[in-house]
Structure 1
């Protein structure tokens, strides 16, 4: 079960209203790499976890913290929208301050739909989508997805930090940036622990290697003009799983012939190849 307390994890008080910035802030609330996404991703990974209790508990710890981050951002967005319509384009739109705010760049749904409140959507108003989250049951795969989510999220928050000079907004964002710093380190530690325990880095580690075409398991195919990619660590030396040697293939060959499909049944009314018309 969950238990809510009224206090925020960290303060969310802007120095002044800013409806345009509220629209921007929606990205790290309801965007692909926003707080709603990581909240749902971690919680569903926790709900579905069949592995060690410590991993399940970790997912619940962080997933529940992210609920608090959603609450902080929603509060900040609402406060950025406080009194905003009357302050925007007042001279030109005194008779209709709400329209003035909309015309100045405010998300119109903040006035029309949510009544000056946050929404579960991104900065363009696109609704949050459950397809954003990953919960596969394989913790090594999932934790790598979590590390990426934290990296993308921290990147976006730092960009938003540069887009405002409001000290209150920056104060809250600095807290979120710091938490993302920990979460990136945390997921990296969990990934390394699983890699060491499973003695492999390739997911899934339980699939028998003899069932894959091992002759191409460590090859980089040069499928673009130029050979600059041959200079990377990924093209030479021992592979990081310790089971093969990287190779650079400058002129890849085709392993199969060109495919030729049979004509579709006539009742599907597909375009018929010329030889099939007679």
Structure 2
């Protein structure tokens, strides 16, 4: 169940509307690093959590609802950057190179399809896709995915912060960056509360793995390389279940030969024997 209030989670102001920046902000809405991704990701993860782990379901849903508020903030920012700008497509402009440049800085669809409003697309106008969402049904795996999602989202937000000179946009992005910091840390902390979160899934019996290769760093170079003697080639593994080792090559065996196809597929080339 959801409720809504007619106010933003955090104030959004734009002092100098900029259609080009509105186009860039679309990445933070419908891009692979954007808020639509994490909002839906956390929701679908939460809906898969069983009843006896209600505390994780609540953590995920609280954060998902917060991310919905971030979408609303960014959509407001996009609209405020598009409307009232001297660079807006809707203004009467002379046929000059300056006007053409200003118009192309704005996404055409933001004018043609949405009437100078935000859209569920990225900065190139590509529609949001659910393929960005990671919700595996395995809590540990999902929490690791969430750390990555917040890390890439925070990277995007910091790049947008560096790009703009508008004080209002910097203030909004500073808030979003701060929330990304919290979310990264809360997912990492949640992982600490799980028993044996690595390897994922922990339910699979490790004695069924190939014991020769389950903690071996494998070089894929043609010529043998010496052990770089790094933490991932020697010493204890983070899960405490094995010792890292180094293999200078891959096992390698067998030939790449495809079985004969069904004759009805007509995949065999026609040829005439001499």
Q: Separation in 1 of the partners of 2:227 and 2:115?
A: 52
Unaligned runs of 5+ in 2: none
Partner residue of 2:215? Answer: 218
TM-score, length basis structure 1: 0.89
Helix, strand or coil for the counterpart of 2:236? coil
User: Relative to 1, partners in 2 of residues 1:137 and 1:88: Cα closer, same or farther, differing over 3 Å?
Assistant: closer
Cα drift, residue 230 of structure 1: 2.3
Is the counterpart of residue 124 in structure 1 residue 121 in structure 2?
no
In the alignment, the residues of structure 2 paired with residue 185 and residue 42 of structure 1 have an alpha-carbon distance, to the nearest angstrom, of 15
After TM superposition, list the pairs within 5 Å mapping 1:37-76 onto structure 2: 37-50=37-50, 51-76=52-77
In 2, Cα distance between equivalents of 1:200 and 1:135: 16
| CA distance in structure 2 between the aligned counterparts of 1:24 and 1:49, rounded to whole angstroms | 35
Q: Does 1:79 align with 2:83?
A: no
Cα distance change on mapping 1:228 and 1:16 into 2, 3 Å: farther
Q: Structure 1, residues 162-210: CA drift from partner, whole Å, max 9, x if none?
A: 111100000000000000000000000011211xxx2351000000112
Aligned residue in 2 for 1:243? 241
Q: Does the CA contact (< 8 Å) of 2:224 and 2:248 recur in 1?
A: no
Q: Which residue of 1 is the match for residue 136 of structure 2?
A: 136
Give the gaps of 5 or more residues in structure 1: none
TM-score, with length taken from structure 2: 0.91
Q: 1:272 to 1:213 in 2, by over 3 A?
A: farther
Determine if contact 1:39/1:63 at 8 Å carries over to the other structure: yes
Corresponding residue for residue 24 of structure 1: 24
Structure 2 counterparts to residues 1-278 of structure 1, below 5 A: 1-50=1-50, 51-84=52-85, 86-87=86-87, 93-94=93-94, 100=100, 103-194=103-194, 198-224=195-221, 227=225, 230-254=228-252, 256-272=253-269
In the comparison of the two structures, how many residue pairs are matched? 270
Deviations 1:25-82 (A, max 9, x none): 1001100110000000011111221151100000110000001000000000000001
Structure 1 range deviating more: 148-157 or 86-95: 86-95
More helix by share: 1
Contact map agreement 1:88 1:101 (CA 8 A) in 2:
no
